[in-house]
Structures are given as C-alpha cells and as structure tokens.
Structure 1
Amino acid sequence: MKKIVTLIIILGAFTSMAQTGNKNADALFDKMWYVEAGKGYENAIKKGDTSRMTLERAGDSYYFNTQMQEANKWYAQLVAEYPNEVSPKYLFRYAQTLEGIQNYPLAKKWMKKFAEQGTNDTRAKHFLQSDVTIDDLLALEPQFTLQNLSINSVYSDFAPMYYMDRLIYATATDSSYFHTRKYGWNNQPFLNLHIGRINPVQTDVTFLEKFSKDINTKYHEACVAFSPDEKTIYFTRNNYEGKLKKDGNGVNHLKLYSATAEEKDGKIKWGDIKELPFNSDNYSVGQPAVSKDGTKLYFVSDMPGTIGETDIFVVDILEDGNYGQPKNLGETINTTGREMFPYVTDRALYFATDGYLGLGGLDVFETIITDGVFQKPINLGAPLNSSMDDFAYIVNEETNKGFVCSNRKSGKGDDDIYSFERTPIVCKQVIKGTVSEELTDERIAGATVVLYDDNGVEKDRAVTKMNGEYIFSTVIGCSTGYFVEAAKQGYKTTNKSVITGSTTGETVVPLGISHELIVKENGLLKIKIGIIYFDLDNSYIRNDATIELNKVVLLMNEYPDMVIKIESHTDSRGRDEYNLQLSDRRAKATRDYIISQGITPERIESAIGYGETQLINGCSNGVPCTAVQHEMNRRSEFIILKM
C-alpha cells in the first residue's frame, strides 16, 4: 500500500537530519522518493557500507512502499549485525516484514522481543501475545469470500465508497494515455476519483467515468464520504490552492475538503468547495467517514493530541453547517501505530491498524458500539486480512456485502479493491460464575441463579454446586445485555447486569449474596436477630427469646468455624451498678442457652454485660426520653469474631 495510506502518516517522521554519507540516496530519501533511494542504498551496501543507518534506510525505503521481501532482507542484516543497538521501532518493522513474507513462527518471536523492549509503546501489550497470539488469529474461522474487481490496474486502486447505487474509488490509473505524471514516492501516477457501476449481485464493478472535474486536480484526490442525503461530499486532497503548499520542512500535507451538490442541465456539479476548519499546513487530515445520522464526521490525522503515527478523530457536524472541536477516539481505538480508514455504521466502527496484533501490515478490525461506547477491537481474520496491508473496509450490513482493499500478492498490481460477502460467525456465549457470601467470601452451595434478558424474561436457571459454581445451559448471543439473579433461603436476593463478551466464549459473572442474619455495623460483623426480651429484674430466658436465640444456633451450625462474643446492654433507667450486674447475668444466661443447644463453649469467646455504659443515643441519667428511645439501648449483640 503505497499511496495516501502511507502519505497520511506524519510525513516528516520518515526523514531525519542524520545522514548516511550516501548523499544522493539521502537526498532521495529525504524527498520521500523511496523507490530510487532504495536502489542507492543497495549500491552503497554492495560497496561495503553496512553501517546501521544505511541498513535502516535501505530497509525503510522498501518498508514504506510495502515491499516486504526486500525490506526484510535489510532489516534481517540490521538485527544480525547490530543485535544490541536496534531500537524497538526497528524490531517492530522487522517483525512486520516477517509477517509480510508469512514467516509467522519467527514473527511471533520478534514481536515478543519488541514488546519486551518497547515498554513505552502502547502496542507492546498487544504484541506480547499474553492473551491472543498469532496462532489464535490464524485459527479464526473464515467469515469472508473475496473477489478481485475488474476495475483494478497495475497501479493503486483503493478507497471505495458508496454513492447512490454506484461506487466512488481512487485510482492511480492515468486515463489520458498521453501524459503520465508520476509521483516520486513510488513512481506511480497521481490519484484521481472515478465512478464505477456495481453489478446487481455486487461481485464486480465496471468503470463508468471520472468522478468530477470540479474535484479532481492534477495532484492527489482520494478517500471520500457523503452526507446521508448525498448532497455533501467530504474528500481528501493535497494541500493545493493553485499550487502545492508546504510546511517549514518542505512537506506537503493532506487536507479535508467539502463540496455541495448542484444539479445543472440534469447533471450533478460539485460547488462551494472549501477547506474544513481544523485543517492545517503543519499536519495532515484525511480519510473521512460520516455517521449514518449525519451528525458526526470521523477522520484520520497526525494533529496535536495524536497518540501514535496517525489516529482516528471525530468531530460533530452542527446543524448550521459548522463543526465542533475534534476529539481523539482515545486508547480503546488508537495506539502508537497507525489507525486509518474509519467506516462507521449504527452498530460498529471498522478501521485498519498496525497497532494491534495482526497477520501483517494493516489489518481490518471491527469495534462494536454499545450505548455510544466503543468495545475492544476485534481482528476480522483471514481471508479478509492477509500478510500484507488490508484496509478501507466498507459494508452494507443488511446484505453483509461490501468492499475492502489490499496489496496482497494475488492482486493485479499495487493496491486492489475486492468485493466481499461476509457470512458472520454465530457468536455464542455461555454465562457462568460463582455465588459467595458477600461479607465473608465463602462459597454458597444450593443457591438458585436465574438469567433474565433485558426485558425481564427468564431465559434459564441453575443451582450452585458445593463449591458455589454455576453455569447456564442456554447458549446466548454476544455483546448482549442480561441480568443474573442469585437467591437462597435465609439470604438477601441480589442481581447484577452484564453484557456478554464480543467473541465466542464465556462470560464469568461472580455474585455476592448476604445472609439475612449477618450485617456489618461500624466495621464489625454482627448477627442481627430480633430483640431478646427478659422479665423485669430477671435474666431467665423466656420462650419468645428462645425463638430468636435459635436463629443464632442455626447460623453457627451453618458456619462451624464461627466464633462470637455476646454483649448485653440496658437503658439508663435504674441504678448504674444494678444495671451492670443485671446485663451481665443476662449475657451469661444467653451464652448458657446457646451452649445448651449443642454449640461448644470455646466458640463463644465471652459473654459480658455493659449495663448503661454503652448507650447508642443521648438517653443517659436525667435526660428525658421516650420509651421507644430507651428501648433502643436495651439490646443484646452477637459480634462475629471469626467465620
């Protein structure tokens, strides 16, 4: 992929003030005439110049033109001769060229090496392959059938976009046949926009005519998008106003333009051509995509705020025709590599990137949009993606047919456009998990777990095993919202909302339920039962008190390792010393009853009465309070020391 795909990268990043000593090759390289520069560096190497810079630039001259076999040759020599001096950037490029020649076992090794050394590079976590490996990507079930289009030439043909019932695309084919102006980067003609007729079954496209003389110039035009009513076009062009404009480093950047459709004499003319307000002479902006409701414009740029070489940004299209402030889509999408060619539907964002683990070069990724939030990007696998660059994916999601571009070796020349039909893999998810006591983390057996859909309709139910695990037998869809509810007699029912994973697999949903009798107060776990009533001036355990105390016994039998202490309290009415003695007798009577029901004495650490020394309100001696307020202080507490 050798045209605007690479041009949109920050062009100055490929040049360097450092020189190899090969003046002619350096001059060509600095002008980004990589075809001729590569030949110059090869001649220098043949004459004995195998310096690190010369090997780097020899590899770069081919790498930037996606000639992976040749680039790999010089990068391999670079890492062999300078094993301790090669920067992570060149480890990454070397691994990319290994993928490009389909040497995946060796690519896997060098990607890990890059990930280990490129710790400041956001791509490192993806290329470490701790979660997904190259082998996993190669094993993905195929979803696509592809067909090379008849409009493709030996030059670059790419960047398709739907327009009415036709296809707009960019091509380097020079249709005048009289005077071919070639671009020094790759020795190909400049790009123009063409219109093709899509055959009814959408397996091929035939050339109709050039798109518009109003928009096509003698320099690059490519990568278009249309408003939903197709009356506004957004397109990418060189920074050109009668002549090419360059920045202070002599770089001509790309800009986004818009134009409005005007019908004259039965034909569409494009007028009111104007720059978008966030363009700049100092960075590139291009590759537009418009949301289906026409309110957002996505684009690619290396403007300030870019995370990597190029990022995808979004800007609001306002009702008055103006624009909001461009926003970077953030690290869920963008990496320190290249994110390019966005295409957005109501359900997903599609884009090309070399910043995530892929099969080589740029790969196409799909990002599901859930409630306006982009989910983790997913590689769409082979044969859509290949060892080379694959990009500019567009699709009609109702028919699952669309177009994609690639410079794979089976094509006609450089970048080719392919039609495709997608047979989506049925994405399946199984929900499983564990149920635990929320405060103690102890696994709960025999809990009933119920799965509900978003409408509250029960889909399945399961019962937890002895280890607290559950699994639903019903296989459900991916990226879908559900509720999982856990319940057991004696416990408070709890539920949790969940969105299933975006790829086939399992969604693990741990649930915590609280025992009805266990609460947490002021940092202490306590057994919460009803009030223990005693007769006036008595510590005898009444029949109604045994009902509540039996709950403590049952709970301690349920948790055989539980150790408690008992505290008894009175209100402030009566003499202080009498209340202290009375509460202590009641605490010990309570302890004795629990032991009489089979609980061993060592599981009750202490049973102490505190009288009126620990009031929980202000109803102390001499303070007028209601009977209800006094009653709050008359309490027995069962504090859990161990579960």
Structure 2
Amino acid sequence: MKRIITIHILLIFSITISAQKKYKRADDLFSKMWYIQAAKEYETVIDEGDNSIEVLQKAGDAYYFNTDMENAFKWYDKLISEYPNEVNPEYIFRYAHSLEGLGEYKLAKKWMKKFANKTKTNDPRAAKYAQEEVTIEDILDIEPQFVLRNLSINTEYSDFGPMYYRDSLVYASAIDSSYYHERKYRWNEQPFLNLYLGKMNTLENDVIKSENFSETINTKYHEATVSFSVDNNKVYFTRNNFDGDLGRDEEGINHLKLYSAILEEDRKGNQIWTDIKELPFNGEDYSVGHPAVSPDGKQLYFVSDMPGSIGATDVFVVDILDNDEYSKPRNLGNQINTYGREMFPYITEERLYFASDGHLGLGGLDVFESNYVVNNYFETPVNLGSPLNSKLDDFGFIIREDKNTGFVCSNRKQGKGDDDIYSFERIPVEKCVQNVYGYVSNNKTGERITNVKVALFSSGGEQIQETITDVNGDYNFVTPIDCDEKYKVIAQKQGYSANDKEFKTARQTGKTEVPLGLDTVSELIVEENGLLKIKIGIIYFDLDKSFIRNDAAIELNKIVLLMTQYPNMVIKIESHTDSRSPDDYNLALSDRRAKSTREYIISQGIESSRIESAIGYGETQLINNCGNENPCSEADHQLNRRSEFIITKM
C-alpha cells in the first residue's frame, strides 16, 4: 500500500522527530514526508560514519513508511543489532513487520514475541503478538476463500479506494494525466490523487473504462476514498485540508479532512456535485478520512487520530442527524482498534471490514472482518487469510455479500505498479461449527447433578443458549457455535455455588465437551435423590421421649447457624423411626419429635415462616428392608431412626 500512504500516513507518527544539525536536511525531508529523498539523505549520513540510534531509526522508517520492506529490514536489523537494549519496542514491532514483508514468518514470529514480552503491561497489541492463542501459522493455514483479478484500469501509479456508485465504481488514482503532469507529491514522486468513475463489466468482474468523477470535487491536491448516502445523492470524501491552499498545523503537516457534497442539476440539466462543505468533527491538528456510510444511512464510520484515539489511527463512528448535523464521534473501542493502524472501514448489515497492522496478520495492513452484534459492538476480528491478504499492504475492501463479489487494494509485487485494485469472488466455504455438550457433577462426591441451569456465552458476554441438566447430569446445547473461538459456560443451581468455565472450540467441525463441577454453599448441604438436605449428626432422643437433649441441641445449632447465614433459606423437617414398635405409636412419636425439633430451632431466633413443615412419618419411609417381619441388626435399625432437614428454598 505504498501510495495510499499519501492519503493516510499523515496519521501514523509515534516517534518524535528530533533534528540535529548534521542531518538537518534529511530531517526536514522526513518531516515533510518526502521519504524517498529523506532515505537517500540518511544513507549518506550513515555512509559518513553516523550510526546513531536516531539515524538508523529514521533510515528504516523512511523505507517502512513507503512500504519498501527490504530496505526497512536492512536498517532496522542494523539498529537492533547495534542497540539491542536501548531500542524502543515500537521498532521491534516494525522490524517484525519488515520480516513479514520479506516472507520470513518464522523469524517474524520470534520478534513478535519479543515485542509482546517487552510491552505486555502497556500495549494492547502484546496479547495478540504473543501468539498464545492465534499464531501466524494459524493465519497461513486459513482455507483460501478468494479468487482475485487485477483490474484493467490499474496504472503504474497508485490506484485504490474503490466504492460502489450506482452501477459504477468510484476510486482514487494518481494517474499521470496531462492536466496534473507537473504536480507531484514528494512522498513518492507520484502525481496527486483524484477521483475517477469506472464502468464495471460485471460479466468479467472487471472495470474497463474510467473518466473524471467530478470537476467540482477534484482539486490540484489529494481527493480519495468516498462513500455515498443510500439514495446516492450525497457523497462523503477525503481531501487534504484545502481551502484554496493547503492548510498546515504548527509542525507544518497538512492533515486530512472529510467533506460532503450534494448532487444537483445545473441550468443545462447536467448533474454536478455542489455545496461542498467540511464535516463539523474535522480538526486542524488531526486527520479525518476514509468514510463509510452504514447500509441504513444512519451512521458514518471513518478513520482518525483525533483525541480519544487508542493507537496511530482508529475507526470512529457518528450518527447522521438531520440538517447536516452529526453526533459526537465515538471510538469503536479496543475490540476493533489497537495501538497500531486501523483503516479503511466498510460496513454491511452484518459485518465490519477494515484494514489493520495492529491485529496479527501476514505483513503490513491486512483485511479483517468482524461480526456486528448490536449498538456498535463487534466480535473479535478475524483475518481473512491468503490470497486476499499478502506479506505487504492489503486494504480498501468492499463487498456485495449477496453476490460474494467485491474489490480490494494491494501493493503486492504481482501488480501493475504501485497500489492496484483487484476484483474478487469470495467462494463460500462450509461453515465450521461446533456443538457444546457436557455434564455437571458434585466436586466432592463426583455424583452427577440434575436440574442444573447451564448457560452458554460468547466471549463478549452475550448469552447464546440456556439448558437444564437431565437425570444423569448431562447437558447439550443444540445451537451450533463457531470453531476456533472462545466461549464460556456457567452452571447454577440452588444450594450450590455457581461455577463457570472458559473454553475454546476446536478448529474443525465437531463437538466440544465441557464438564463442570459444583460445590454446595456449605459442607453441611448435600443432595440426595434430587433433594438438597442439611446433614448433621444423629439427633438422639430418650426412649419414648421427644424433648431436645443437650447433645441434640449441639447438632441443631448447626442448622440455626446455617439458616442465619442464608436468610432466604426455608426448610421442612421430617422425623422417622424404625419398625420395632406399633405403627401408630411410631407415627405419633416421630411427629412429636419433628415438632419439638421445629420449636427448638424457632426458640434460637429463626422465624417460624422459614420452617415450611415439621412432620413425623414413623416407619412409613424405611430406607432398608428392616420392616416388621424382617429381623435386622441394631445398626440397620439405626439407619431408619433419623431426622431429615430438606431445603425447599435458598
């Protein structure tokens, strides 16, 4: 993307220019962004013996900003070799990118990790470039989805920034027309950019003829990257800060601005673009450019380094209001924007496409897509892989998703000259999906837990589906989810502490098992046959008696304490006997004991409403075969003499 830099590199400086007398001319050229001349001057300074860190940095930068990665690598390599401890981490980042530009991905990965280690606490790019999740190899392995074709209208100069307009294509070009023959931009010794209208040959997926887009919009300086209102009667375009002459800030930099124009008929019936005006959120000290109108015409996305930017250039959005008014710009946030460059947004009803060198890619700017969720929230961007992306700059992606056709720009070496526009056909690949299943068990006993609510969430916190575990503690989500993505499941059930688990799906279509373990909120709480119960020591009563003994009170106080800790807890009390006395006698005795137990708990400060019932069941619910006719040991009979405290509400 060497030459599109003429319309956006104004935005990307993070290293302060510090001129020194002995190479003042080189610095002056560099500060004006005349990089071809500046590079030659810096090399002359180096040949004369100045190998200072500042000169080596700028020599590399002069080539890096002009996307000459071979020469950028040459000077960055010397910089890092001679100043391994002093070098700014940003130059490790650029060094890694220059290696990618040469196709040295294995070595680039090593230096990306070094960059991540040096900046892990203060640079959001570090997590991506550490490559603990997605690696360069993963991106290289992406199944090819695009077939590209170099357009007929490309020239030896810079051609880029396509946008649909009715049945045509508007784009920017530095084509060396006779009118602008003498005006060259010193950045790269090319003519200034203007907007052109190309006729599309849809049968061949090509653009075969072009003409000047607008005599009223094109000036003697840069115009590029446009977007249109839904009715095509309003255009937004990028231009130098120009009002008869170039406006510059205190450092002499001419920034970019967004402008709009309206399509009207003149007296002769010709349609012309008129009423050209600046958008109100432009600034004199920062750049604004690369517009993209949303499909419903209600929002305008753009790129800027305005205050509030995260990195070198960020994607912002404003609401398009009535009467040529706009809302305050909103940064799309760090899901999209990084400390690097995010540029050339294009928005459809379902996705945002943009170019970035801050997200992990194959070199230079890569094209990414991010699914739109709601309220300008976007999912994690996905690299679109090769051959759409290359080891150099790939950007300016637009698409008609219903036809799977579109255009993209690149300065890859197979082109006709500089930046070229390519048409593409996107070949749909079978969507890779995963289904999530698993089970929930008790962490302490290993017993499977039924009726657990299990919910599946995206990495952004959006709930995808909710289900309940079956009688075996198993669950299964029927909604398929994406491969190679992060998700989270959360399991909840009354009486248990909620638990969640993050996981990443496999890279192939299939199933992902996610087991979960739960702990009850107290060691006294257990689940038996689907019922939550409070388990304490045996409550002993004297023979034929129902009053609460001291040893029984000690155990019942554990229930009092637990119910105090959980003020919403409601229980019911069940008392049982063995079978060694008459049935009616056992029923009456157990009922007295249940109610005596209830009264004791109430006497210790627990509200009566929190004890749902207190009932004796005598020998009607034996838990073994020790009935009236069956001889049993004392230990077996003891199992039936029990008090149970069942939790009905927490």
TM over 0.5, yes or no? yes
Does residue 339 of structure 1 match 2:342? Answer: yes
Partner of 2:42 in structure 1?
Answer: 41
Change (3 A) 1:441 1:227: farther
Q: What TM-score do you get using the length of structure 1 for normalisation? A: 0.78
Partner of 1:403 in structure 2?
Answer: 407
Structure 1 residue 4, shift from structure 2 partner: 4.3
DSSP 3-state at the match of 1:21 = helix
Does residue 2 of structure 1 match 2:2? Answer: yes
Structure 1 residue 35, shift from structure 2 partner: 0.2
Does residue 192 of structure 1 match 2:194? Answer: yes
DSSP 3-state at the match of 2:113 = helix
Change (3 A) 1:442 1:436: farther
Question: 266-275 or 333-342, which moves further after superposition?
Answer: 266-275
Distance 2:319 2:507 in 1: 31
Q: Is the 8 A contact 2:575 2:644 kept in 1?
A: no
Please show how residues 352-501 of structure 1 align to structure 2 within 5 Å: 352-372=355-375, 373-437=377-441, 440=443, 445=448
Q: How many percent identity over aligned positions?
A: 49
Does residue 19 of structure 1 match 2:20? Answer: yes
Does residue 98 of structure 1 match 2:66? Answer: no
Q: What TM-score do you get using the length of structure 2 for normalisation? A: 0.77
Partner of 2:215 in structure 1?
Answer: 213
Structure 1 residue 371, shift from structure 2 partner: 3.3
Change (3 A) 1:22 1:321: closer
Structure 1 residue 200, shift from structure 2 partner: 2.0
Structure 1 residue 3, shift from structure 2 partner: 3.7
Partner of 1:228 in structure 2?
Answer: 230
Change (3 A) 1:376 1:613: closer
Structure 1 residue 425, shift from structure 2 partner: 2.1
In structure 2, the gaps of 5 or more residues are 457-464, 557-572, 581-593, 616-642
Please show how residues 499-514 of structure 1 align to structure 2 within 5 Å: none
DSSP 3-state at the match of 1:565 = coil
Structure 1 residue 564, shift from structure 2 partner: 3.8
Please show how residues 310-321 of structure 1 align to structure 2 within 5 Å: 310-321=313-324
Q: Is the 8 A contact 2:303 2:316 kept in 1?
A: yes
Q: After superposition, what is the alpha-carbon deviation per residue over 1:26-61, rounded to whole angstroms, capped at 9, x for unaligned?
A: 221122111001011112222322222111111111
Distance 1:483 1:335 in 2: 24
Structure 1 residue 426, shift from structure 2 partner: 1.8
**1:612 corresponds to which letter in structure 2?**
Y
Change (3 A) 1:359 1:302: same
Change (3 A) 1:168 1:631: closer
Distance 1:83 1:145 in 2: 42
**2:548 corresponds to which letter in structure 1?**
L
Distance 1:231 1:631 in 2: 73
Distance 1:107 1:563 in 2: 61
Structure 1 residue 112, shift from structure 2 partner: 0.6
Structure 1 residue 441, shift from structure 2 partner: 7.4
Does residue 565 of structure 1 match 2:537? Answer: yes
Distance 1:447 1:614 in 2: 32
DSSP 3-state at the match of 2:399 = strand
**Residue from 297, 302, 325 that aligns with 2:328:** 325
**2:326 corresponds to which letter in structure 1?**
Y
DSSP 3-state at the match of 1:418 = strand
**1:234 corresponds to which letter in structure 2?**
Y
DSSP 3-state at the match of 2:297 = coil
RMSD across aligned C-alpha pairs, in angstroms?
Answer: 4.6
Q: After superposition, what is the alpha-carbon deviation per residue over 1:472-517, rounded to whole angstroms, capped at 9, x for unaligned?
A: 799777799x9999999x999x9x9x999797557858587999xx
Structure 1 residue 17, shift from structure 2 partner: 2.5
DSSP 3-state at the match of 2:359 = coil
Partner of 2:33 in structure 1?
Answer: 32
Q: Is the 8 A contact 2:346 2:353 kept in 1?
A: yes
DSSP 3-state at the match of 2:60 = helix
Distance 1:37 1:485 in 2: 58
Structure 1 residue 177, shift from structure 2 partner: 6.0
DSSP 3-state at the match of 1:194 = strand
Does residue 306 of structure 1 match 2:313? Answer: no
**Residue from 202, 205, 214 that aligns with 1:203:** 205
Paired residue total: 573
Q: After superposition, what is the alpha-carbon deviation per residue over 1:196-232, rounded to whole angstroms, capped at 9, x for unaligned?
A: 0110225210233100011000000001000111111
Structure 1 residue 429, shift from structure 2 partner: 1.6
Distance 2:484 2:166 in 1: 32
Q: Is the 8 A contact 1:429 1:500 kept in 2?
A: no
Please show how residues 172-183 of structure 1 align to structure 2 within 5 Å: 172-176=174-178, 179-183=181-185
Partner of 1:612 in structure 2?
Answer: 600
Structure 1 residue 180, shift from structure 2 partner: 2.6
**2:346 corresponds to which letter in structure 1?**
Y
**1:256 corresponds to which letter in structure 2?**
L
**1:253 corresponds to which letter in structure 2?**
H
